[in-house]
């Protein structure tokens, strides 16, 4: 499992997305100076999206034995993360006057970046394995003809 760098990238992305379940999303400052803290798990749509993203990240990390499958699941997880990042950006634009957003609002972007890098590395690894198998098969076939 830890033989490939994409596994490390996927574990970091899983950690980023999973940590959002326990982190602060934003702080609302009231007119009297009071502060109200909003977490991701307090808003049901955010919680649902985070559960879907975490599940996709875990599935991508766990599918290390089938590299084509891992690449596809990484792309799906990356697309989910980009969608969530766009959603957070829209919320930021709509509420930038009354809310102070946490740095964790950028975690989906970092996770998407790591997912796409992992997908690329998985595809390269799988194509390398297939090329080696093909070369061995051709060499074996050539040796049989020479005999």
- The whole-angstrom distance between residue 38's C-alpha and the CA centroid of its chain comes to 23
Pairwise CA distance, residues 99 & 30, whole Å: 9
- Average pLDDT, whole number, for the chain? 89
- Predicted confidence band of residue 95 (pLDDT cuts 50, 70, 90): confident
Enter the pTM of the model. 0.85
110, 14 Cβ separation under 8 angstroms: no
Residue 130 CB coordination number (10 Å): 12
User: What sections of 1-146 are H helices per DSSP?
Assistant: 5-20, 44-62, 67-94, 107-146
For 6-45, how does the pLDDT look when each residue is reduced to its tens digit (9 = 90+)?
A: 889 999 999 999 999 999 988 888 888 788 888 998 889 9
75, 119 Cβ separation under 8 angstroms: yes
Question: How much of the chain exceeds pLDDT 90, in percent?
Answer: 54
Residue 146 confidence (pLDDT) above 80 = no
Largest Cα–Cα separation, the chain: 91
| CATH code of residue 63 | 1.20.140
Would you state the pLDDT for residue 3? Answer: 66
67 against 113, higher pLDDT? 113
Which residues, at least 6 apart from 95, have a Cβ–Cβ distance to it below 8 Å?
Answer: 26
Mean pLDDT of 53-81: 93
> What range defines the domain where residue 37 resides?
5-146
Strands 24-29 and 35-39, sheet pairing: antiparallel
76, 128 Cβ separation under 8 angstroms: no
- The whole-angstrom distance between residue 44's C-alpha and the CA centroid of its chain comes to 21
- Number of domains forming the structure of the chain: 1
Would you state the pLDDT for residue 64? Answer: 85
Residue 80 confidence (pLDDT) above 70 = yes
């Amino acid at each position: 499992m830890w033989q490939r760098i994409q596994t490390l990238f996927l574990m970091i992305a899983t950690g980023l997305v999973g940590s959002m379940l326990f982190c602060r999303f934003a702080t609302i400052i009231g007119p009297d100076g009071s502060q109200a803290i909003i977490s991701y798990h307090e808003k049901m749509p955010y919680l649902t999206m985070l559960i879907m993203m975490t599940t996709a990240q875990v599935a991508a990390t766990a599918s290390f034995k089938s590299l084509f499958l891992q690449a596809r699941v990484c792309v799906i997880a990356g697309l989910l993360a980009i969608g969530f990042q766009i959603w957070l950006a829209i919320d930021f634009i709509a509420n930038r006057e009354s809310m102070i957003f946490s740095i964790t609002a950028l975690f989906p972007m970092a996770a998407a970046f790591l997912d796409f890098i992992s997908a690329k590395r998985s595809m390269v690894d799988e194509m390398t394995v297939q090329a080696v198998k093909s070369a061995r098969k051709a060499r074996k076939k050539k040796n049989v003809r020479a005999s």
